Amino acid sequence: MVQLQTDYSNLTRERDELNNSFNNLTEKLEQLQTSYNILTKEQDQLQKRFEEMNERKDFQRMIEDKRHCGPWRSFGSKYYYISSEQKTWEESREDCRQKGTDLVIINSEEEQKTWEESREDCRQKGTDLVIINSEEEQVVEDGYDTLEP
């Protein structure tokens, strides 16, 4: 009987130790799972940033290659896309934001001159130039009215 009692006590102690080890391992597993989830989320965010930066790099390369061709115009270190589509101010702004840009605000006489040259170029090609003045939230529909800087 004493032997049975000793065996029972030993088995109970061993069971408790195993339960304790199991609980510790379960807690560590949960911590590792949480760390894994955080790292996966960070990796996804980094991957998204990497893809966005690659898109931006490709976009900049395309602009450099086509600096004075097609609808692209440069002014200093800025590049402008001149759309031939006629849209409302809201539609134009949404289109720009989807491309990671915003509407143009003409800030200087020099910049105004660049736009006027672009407008004349479009006139000669028989296309419309839509110039947007986002400070006043209006679109010059025909593209040929003068906007003050």
pLDDT tens for residues 102-143?
Answer: 777 777 888 778 777 776 766 665 544 444 444 443 344 444
19 plus 52 within the same structural domain: yes
3-state helix, strand, coil in the chain (%, to 5): 60, 10, 30
11 plus 40 within the same structural domain: yes
pLDDT reported for residue 140:
40
Number of structural domains in the chain: 2
Say which residue, 92 or 37, is predicted with more confidence: 37
Question: What pLDDT, in 10s, does the model give residues 89-103?
Answer: 788 888 888 877 777
Judge whether 145 lies within some domain.
Answer: no
79 plus 55 within the same structural domain: no
Boundary (domain end) residue, out of 34, 65, 96: 65
Boundary (domain end) residue, out of 41, 65, 89: 65
123 plus 78 within the same structural domain: yes
> Among residues of the chain, what percentage have pLDDT more than 70?
66
Question: Which of 30-34, 75-79, 92-96, 125-129 is the least confident region?
Answer: 125-129
Cα dihedral sign, 115-117-121-126: positive
CB 147 within 8 A of CB 133: yes
Work out the burial of residue 35: count CB atoms within 10 Å of its CB; fewer than 13 is exposed, 13-18 middle, 19 or more buried: exposed
116 plus 76 within the same structural domain: yes
Judge whether 146 lies within some domain.
Answer: no
- Classify the phi-psi angles of 71: left when phi > 0, otherwise alpha if psi is within -120 to 50, otherwise beta: alpha
pLDDT reported for residue 72:
66
105 plus 61 within the same structural domain: no
Helices (H), 66-135: 89-98, 109-125
Boundary (domain end) residue, out of 36, 65, 94: 65
- What does the pLDDT average to over 26-38? 97
Q: Work out the mean pLDDT of the chain and round it to a whole number.
A: 76
Torsion of CA 141, 130, 105, 117, to 10 degrees: -120
| Residue 52: domain span | 1-65
Contacts of 110 (CB under 8 A, 6+ apart): 75
Give the β-pairing of 138-140 and 131-133: antiparallel
Judge whether 148 lies within some domain.
Answer: no
24 plus 86 within the same structural domain: no
Measure the CA–CA gap between 124 and 47, rounded to whole angstroms. 45
9 plus 72 within the same structural domain: no
